[in-house]
Amino acid sequence: MIDVVIVGAGPNGLMLACELALAGVHPVVLERHTAPTGEARANGLVGQVVRLLDRRGLYAPLSGESTPPTPQPAFTFGAFPLDLTVLAENPHYVLGVPQAQLEATLAARAVELGVDLRRGHEVIDLHQRPDGVEVDLADGTQLTCRFLVGADGGRSVVRRLAGIDFPGVTNDRSISRTATVTVPASSLDPETGGLRVPGHGVVPPFQHTRTPRGLIAWAPFPGRPAILSTTEWPDTPTDAETPMNLAELRASVARVLGADIPLNAPDGPGLLRRLSGHNTRIADRYRAGRVLLVGDAAHVHPAIGGPGLNLGLQDAVNLGWKLAATVRGWAPPGLLDTYETERRPVAERVVMSTQAQSALIGPGDEITGLRELFAELLGMPEVTGHIAALMAGADIHYPADPADPLAGRCAPDVVVRGDLGPVRLAELIRTARPLLLDSTGAYAEVAAPWRDRVDVVTGALEGTTASALLVRPDCFIAWSAGDVGTLRASLTHHFGPPR
């Protein structure tokens, strides 16, 4: 019997596969497409997930940089520019890589770790039994696994077959158009890289620009074709059967800005996409027996602000160590159920954020008035900091011991100075094993009965006020320095009884 079958070889499914493999469980990943589609979807990663990728050794191959990620000085919220340089602690990171590159990197890493990646295998039915799940494939074969995970997107077949409802709302008022384009050099602002638009001014790069008639975004990615997109709220529906072309996008730009921009197709293949409306939905449960959901299979929302991969990849890392612990037999009671209790509130905050931004970019004079007030609020650094933490997912605080002020929060970028010299937490936790950092040397003996699943590193700690930290595989703090009794309790609560 296969331990875990993951349906879907997108970023979330592949990330989960890597996490399981690091924990000693080698899953089978089923993907209905025979090869990667190369379809242009996300154009980068936004938020704390960038730090997470660094903590799995994936930031360097994705970014091409040998140094750790650094916070982004600016971003956007609801078509407002956010100046993040005013913050004492900036939580916002950005990594501009297309989704196809991310998928290729994760697929290569999964195969390197021993994951069985099977393309061209479509799931058509499933049957749960007390000790596992039978999975029927379109070619007539059947697989049996202990757990099945649906990472197969917003139209998840696994979710439907498991009988999990997907409540929410569909808003079909908006029309979004996106294309890869080139523009004449005379249309580019040499200082900012923005678009010069006669009669309007400069459309800044990598921001949403809102007018009372719609929204426009200009993204001149280095080394690849630029992307231009618009969003409108037309009074009459667009013919969805007619393929989109650059003339349609150019006309949309003219309506939004009240001015024309010359657009040309890039050399080679390009993106032309029209989307009508958006869905906001969260699965009514993330688990049905031995079937679990991750990423878009569990939640969908508007793409504004780019939170999708930040949410989905961290779902995968949260689920990975808990599912592996369950498969390997050391999970404490109820551990697997904490996947939903921890991650659902995060999805609900992302939905709240994207709904708020969707309202702020809407058309009409009433929204313009609301935006004037909101602009005043963003003049306060504390408001900017609150919004930045929300956008980055840096405000997550999982349920934990209220007497422990650090427990339940994401671990800071600690540096340990021990026998091996200064070592970053990001380098120590790439194995995805629980980690006890101890600057006193007093706690290592307490954790010794858990050494089969918890690593111990001693040395001076920089970047934290705590003298010791117990860090979960998903890089959240399970415990910070206290008496040895609370450490034993936390080790047992998170990682099962000692052996």
pLDDT tens string 181-214: 999 988 898 888 899 998 888 999 988 899 888 9
**Three-class SS state of 230:** strand
When pLDDT is cut at 50, 70 and 90, the band that residue 302 belongs to is confident
pTM above 0.75, yes or no: yes
- Find out whether 487 and 495 touch, Cβ atoms under 8 Å: no
Q: What is the CA radius of gyration of the chain?
A: 24
User: What are the strands of the beta sheet with 421-424, ordered from one edge?
Assistant: 421-424, 415-418, 460-462
**Three-class SS state of 180:** strand
Q: Where are the beta strands (DSSP E) in 283-383?
A: 287-288, 291-293, 299-300
Tell me the pLDDT tens digit for each residue of 232-248. Answer: 988 777 767 788 999 99
Average pLDDT over all residues of the chain: 93
Q: Tokens for 329?
A: 């037999």
Helix and strand numbers (H, E) in the chain are 13, 27
Mean pLDDT in residue range 452-479: 96
Burial 407-441 (b: 16+ CB within 10 A, else e): bbbbbbbbbbeeeeeebbbbebbeebbbbbbbbee
Tell me the pLDDT tens digit for each residue of 393-410. Answer: 999 999 998 889 999 999
- Find out whether 147 and 292 touch, Cβ atoms under 8 Å: yes
| Sign of the CA dihedral running 9, 11, 17, 21 | positive
Tell me the pLDDT tens digit for each residue of 64-73. Answer: 999 999 999 9
Residues in the chain: 499
Residue ranges of domains in the chain, CATH in brackets: 2-168+280-392 (3.50.50.60), 170-277 (3.30.70.2450), 409-495 (3.40.30.120)
When pLDDT is cut at 50, 70 and 90, the band that residue 223 belongs to is confident
